Structures are given as structure tokens and as C-alpha cells.
Structure 1
Amino acid sequence: MKMAIILNIQVYLCMFFAFLHTEGTYNKKENAIIINNFLRHPGWNNINDVELIKYGNNKHELKNLIFNPVTLFNCNDCIRQTMLFLGCSYANDFDFINFSLTKFQEHCFELLDSSYARAHNCTITLLMKMIEIVPMAECMKGALDAIDKYHTVSRKREIRNRFILSRLLTNIQEEKILLTTLRTSLLSIKDVLTTIEEILLSRRNELNEDKSFCQLKNLDSLWNLWIIEFNTLTLQRKFQELFIFLSDKISNFILTTIKKKYIDLGFIFDCNTSQTFLPVQLSTSDNHDIAQNPSTNFIQNTNYVNTQETIQQNDITTYPSILRINDVEIQENISQESNDFIIH
């Protein structure tokens, strides 16, 4: 009899602690409301480059996340899925930029055989373009951190989990010092290009690891469109250096990405603290637009290529601080390089 009582107590204690553990994974009601409203922003309908994410031994589609309500019971799962979907989309963008920069670097190497001066200018432009990516990385890291803050246990305290893009985004910011130093170093152009190649290879390896969470759509077609456009301009005798053409295209891609995957998703940037926050509530107009026809809104995604050439600059400039290049001299040099080396 005494043994049975002891066993019952042990069972009840196990159930009690299991209950406590389960309850501990629930989030707050106010956090669930904020995440729910955040996922109702129309900009989420335009995240169309991620087909699936892998989370919790299952595959998930974005439409299920943005259409199903967020509650205090599923809030933490929704937060992790949101970070994965956005992180995968960011990874896709960085993968394309890394691919473009690799082609850029190869072109600079090829110029060494014909003209050292052109190879030098190509390399300087490439370095400035790599530095220009840093503010975008800061935006993306701020966005993922802003979402993560609403999780019961943030990923910063989950030491065993290295979440998507965390290492890559940190490395890109830290590499800015190295890239800036390379611009003024006494190294040969060949040595500088070799160092750039090593940086891009390291980034590619990081991206391949992060993309294991994702099933993505390929952006190679955008690169092919760029090359077709460049060849067309050349045939029309509107020739310019390929590295200047690529520099402009990459800049447009960066601006489009920040607008589409930061501003349009409703993230709020505090210029005083340089921190990113989630909107506390959804505007009435956003609720109305989604309520009209959520399925149609999801299907009618913004075409990725079309947005490249139709950036509305007045929308971008509402967030001037997050788009700045910290070294003003770099931006001036970009313009000067373009003016000096365009061949009419």
C-alpha cells in the first residue's frame, strides 16, 4: 500500500512538472496579438521566393502562417516559422548578391590581362559595392532580432541553437573594416582580388549551411536578364564598363530588397537608437485590404524582376538612416568612378 502511494506521488509529480514545462512554452496574449498583426501586413504576400521551410521535422508554407490566427498557444512556433521564412528569403537575396559579386570579381581578374588601370578601377568599385551591402545586413539582423524578442526564450539564450543567418550577418558587418582597409592598402590588385575571392567563398559556405532550412526559388534568371540588357546596350553603342553596369544593378537590388523585405513588412526603425521594432498594431486600411480577398492577395505577388527597375525613391527615403553608407567618401567615389570610366 505504501509503495503504491509512493508510485502515485511520483506519477503526479512527473505530470505536474510536465504541465509546468508545457505551460512555460506558452507566450503572452499581447505578444500573440502583435505577431498576429505583424503577419497581416500586405508585404508578406510579396515574399514569393521561399516555397517551403523545414521546421520541427515538418515542412511549412508561408500562406498557412499568414492566414492562420496566432494564439498564445502557437505563438512561439509562429515566431520561429516567421524568422525562418524571412531568414530564408534573406538568404536567397544574399546568395544572388554573392553570385553577382563573384562574377564581378572574375571580371576584374580578367581585366588584369588587358589593362591594369581598368582592373584597378574594377576592384575599387567591387570593394565599395561589398561595403554597400553592410547597411542591408544591419537591417536584416535588426529585423530578425525584433521578431525574436517576442519569443518566450530568445535565441540569444539558446546557446545550442545557431539560428539562420546569425553568423553570416555578423561576419558581413565585421568584414567592413577589412574591406575598407583593402581599398587603401599597398597590396597588388591580384592579392586584393584573391582576398575578396576568399571572403565570397566563406560567405557561400555559410549560406549553403543556412539554406538547409529552406526550399527556395532560383534567381539565376535575374542574372541572365542583366547580361542580356548589358549586351543589348552594347549593340546599341551605349557601351559602358561591365563593372559599372553591375555596380548600378547591385545597388538597385539592395534598395529593392530593403524596401520589399523591411519597409513593406512594417518594421519600424528608430533613428535615435538604430534599432528595429515591430509595429504594435495593424492599421485599419491593412485589415480592410486583407479581409477583401486574402487568397487573391497572396497569389498576386510582386514580380521580383519588375520591381528592380521601378523602385519608388520617395518610399525608400522615409528610412534614410538605415540606407546610409557610413563612409560618405565611398559614395562620392562611386559617382566619380562612374563619370570617369563610362565610354560614350
Structure 2
Amino acid sequence: MYSLKLYTFSFVLFSMLLYTKAEPAKRKTIDQLDELLKYSGWKNLIDLISIKLHETTHYVKNLIVIPTHRNKCYQKIRAMTVCLGCVYVKFINEISLVISNILQICQKQIQEEKDLIKGCICTEELVYIISLIIVPLITLMQGAMDALDLIHKYPHYTLVKSYCTINIFLESFRNIIDDLNILTLSRDNVSVYIWTLNFIDYFIKIKLKEIKFLTDNYCVFVSYDPSDLWNKWVQEYNTIIDHGKRFVFIKFLKKKIENNVKTVIKEQYIQLGFKFDPITEETFVATRNDPIKIELELNAIDD
């Protein structure tokens, strides 16, 4: 169902992007966008080469470096929103493969090895990783895209309910919590663990297909293997074991994911000029009069 919505809204979104009237923007809007793009994180998005919008290629470097022209400001906001979405989708692609591999370990422990204690612990940790580490990050990602789009004179949310294909994807990923909360994990009922693993397996496979659709149609990256993150962590774990140190693999992976998410928040959220308001639970864009103090934000993450 969500895949159908993804393709449908893809057509709606980028039809709007193509036919948006190139009207001049106010100086305040231009300045706000250019101030945002001065944050160091934008120039560090080297993995994303360009984005494609209706057969038009927009090179990320040019979008960031070239000062905004008043007649191109609104188109640039749309393009930068998609750039941001592509960067986020790349991360989700990598972490989804990590989740998939952890899931297979949990399934093997329960169904093949019949080690119910290890299998249950593995499943519990996996649910924790998704619910309390990955989904909160995706909430920040979605908030950043919303905040950037709000700079536009006609934000997409005022025009259609789900204004951005990638935004729809992020929202659907966040909804996994609702499904996981249907049943409470209890070691008195192993079938709940099996159902949970089967559901996550199905969910991730659907998300990986949607990611391929998004990246194939809108994002041009430097060549990379999305399995590299998982392979890197496995190699690091094996090195630790070879040195005589013993760690439970799932606990090791949980810590690696936590650290990785902190890095993503730092480099692809805070250093891009976005800030989370814990009171309103909203993301807002830095302005000249209200700049983001990056060091303070980074300290907040560590705390």
C-alpha cells in the first residue's frame, strides 16, 4: 500500500517541481537560504553528486556554492530539500541492511539453534535499536526536510497532504513503531518474538525496494556499497575477539549504531544548520539573528 502511495506522490511532487512558477523571492528568503548553506555540513555532503528532477540534473556543489538568484530561489529550495532527502535515504539504506543482518541472527538463534534465551535477547535489542535509536533519528530527518521546505513561499504541505516522496518514505518508516507496539514481547510466549522478527523482515524488504526506487530516480551518488557499514563492523568485532576480548555481538552492534547515529545527527543535521526544539518537538532552520551554536548542540548530543 505504501509502495503505491510512494509512486503516486512521486508523480505529484515532481510534477509540482517542474511546473512551479519561477517568481522572484524576497531578499529575506534569499538571505535565509544562503545563510543556511554557509553551515559547514553542506560542503561535506561529498557522497551526493547530483539530483534529478524531471530530466534536469542539479549538481549539489553548484547549488551550495553559487549565490542564490532571486528568480531561482524557490526552485533551489525544492532542489535542496530533495538533496537533503537523498542524503538521508542513503543512511537509511545502509542501516536497513544492518537491521536485516541482525534480524537473521535473531531468527537463526530461535528457529535453527533453538537457543531461545539468546534469540529473545537479540530480538529485544533489535526492537530497541529500531524504536529508540533509528526512529528518533528519522524524526529529526523528516523535521529537517519540513523546516527547509517552510522557507518556500508555497510550502508543499499547504498544497498536498504528503508533499514529498522522500518525506512519505520517512513517515512510513516511523510508523513501524505502531506495528511493533501491537504485541508486547514476553518470554512466556516465544511466538510473539517470531511474529516480531517476521514483521521486521517483511518491513525492511519493502523499505529496501522503496529506497532503490528513490535513489534510482532522484539521487546520483558516488559509487558505494551499502553493505560496507555492516562489513566494517563485523571486521572490527572479529578483530576485538582475536585480541581476546569478549563482547556479545548484538551489544557491540547496538553501541556501534548509537555512535553512528550521533555522528549522523552531528554531520547531517546540526552542521547543516538545523536545531531541534525539545519543547515543541519541532525542527527549525538557523537564521542570521538566531544562529545555531554548534558546540552547544554537540554537547547536548553527548549528554
**TM-score normalised by L of structure 1:** 0.73
Question: Is 1:206 aligned to 2:188, yes or no?
Answer: no
- Give, in angstroms, the shift of residue 56 of structure 1: 4.0
Q: 1:317 to 1:57 in 2, by over 3 A?
A: same
- Give, in angstroms, the shift of residue 190 of structure 1: 2.2
Residue number in structure 2 paired with 1:232: 239
- Give, in angstroms, the shift of residue 147 of structure 1: 0.7
- Give, in angstroms, the shift of residue 72 of structure 1: 2.0
Q: 1:95 to 1:225 in 2, by over 3 A?
A: same
Residue number in structure 1 paired with 2:265: 258
Work out the CA distance in 1 between the residues paired with 2:290 and 2:156: 29
Q: Answer whether contact 1:51 1:61 (CA < 8 A) is retained.
A: yes
User: Which of the residues 251, 269, 276 maps onto 1:269?
Assistant: 276
Matches within 5 A, 1:103-182: 103-112=101-110, 113-114=112-113, 115-131=115-131, 132-159=133-160, 162-182=163-183
Question: Is 1:192 aligned to 2:196, yes or no?
Answer: yes
Q: Answer whether contact 2:262 2:301 (CA < 8 A) is retained.
A: no
Work out the CA distance in 2 between the residues paired with 1:314 and 1:128: 27
- Give, in angstroms, the shift of residue 257 of structure 1: 0.6
Q: Answer whether contact 2:93 2:211 (CA < 8 A) is retained.
A: yes
Q: 1:160 to 1:57 in 2, by over 3 A?
A: farther
Identity %: 26
Residue number in structure 1 paired with 2:63: 65
Q: SS of the residue aligned with 1:47? A: coil
Residue number in structure 2 paired with 1:97: 95
Work out the CA distance in 2 between the residues paired with 1:215 and 1:282: 35
- Give, in angstroms, the shift of residue 261 of structure 1: 0.7
Matches within 5 A, 1:207-222: 207-211=211-215, 212-217=217-222, 218=224, 219-222=226-229
Per-residue CA deviation, residues 178-231 of structure 1 (Å, 9 max, x unaligned), is 224444364343222111111212222222222220012424333222111111
Work out the CA distance in 1 between the residues paired with 2:116 and 2:162: 47
- Give, in angstroms, the shift of residue 172 of structure 1: 2.6
Work out the CA distance in 2 between the residues paired with 1:236 and 1:40: 44
> In the alignment, residue 126 of structure 1 is paired with which amino acid?
L
Residue number in structure 1 paired with 2:15: none
Work out the CA distance in 1 between the residues paired with 2:136 and 2:20: 39
> In the alignment, residue 127 of structure 1 is paired with which amino acid?
V
Question: Is 1:316 aligned to 2:277, yes or no?
Answer: no
Q: Answer whether contact 1:25 1:152 (CA < 8 A) is retained.
A: no
Q: 1:208 to 1:249 in 2, by over 3 A?
A: same
- Give, in angstroms, the shift of residue 277 of structure 1: 1.3
Q: Answer whether contact 2:103 2:197 (CA < 8 A) is retained.
A: yes
Q: Answer whether contact 1:129 1:247 (CA < 8 A) is retained.
A: yes
Q: Answer whether contact 1:29 1:71 (CA < 8 A) is retained.
A: no
Residue number in structure 2 paired with 1:244: 251
Per-residue CA deviation, residues 242-295 of structure 1 (Å, 9 max, x unaligned), is 2122111111111111111111111132222111111121899x9xxxxxxxxx
Q: Answer whether contact 2:39 2:272 (CA < 8 A) is retained.
A: yes
Q: Which has the larger radius of gyration?
A: 1
- May I ask how many residue pairs the two structures share in their alignment? 275
Work out the CA distance in 1 between the residues paired with 2:122 and 2:295: 27
Which structure 2 segments of 5+ residues have no match?
A: 1-18
**TM-score normalised by L of structure 2:** 0.82
Q: Answer whether contact 1:140 1:262 (CA < 8 A) is retained.
A: yes
Residue number in structure 1 paired with 2:3: none
Alignment root-mean-square deviation, CA: 2.7
